[in-house]
Amino acid sequence: MSRLFPKMVDKLNRIDQLIRMKATGQPHELASRLEISPSTLYEYIEIMRSVLLAPIRYCHIKRSYVYEKDGKLHIGFKNKQQVNRIG
């Protein structure tokens, strides 16, 4: 099995954690912290926005990416019982 997807999921979860803490820093700082290039960071942010529908924006005042709504990224399978509990 390719390690590419699990590595991407790990990075997305880390980005999510830092966004919820409002502690990503500027894009080049976040890319460095994640040990990825700035262009890869922008690709991940775009995946989070367009594929995972995360309401992300960059706040120049906080110098951090933030979510426009309270929430958390969830990547994984949910069984029918879990989905029914959520709504």
Mean pLDDT in residue range 67-83: 83
pLDDT at 76 over 80: no
Where helices occur in the chain by DSSP H, the ranges are: 4-20, 27-34, 38-50, 80-86
Element (H, E) at 65: strand 64-67
Mean pLDDT of the chain: 91
pTM for this predicted structure: 0.84
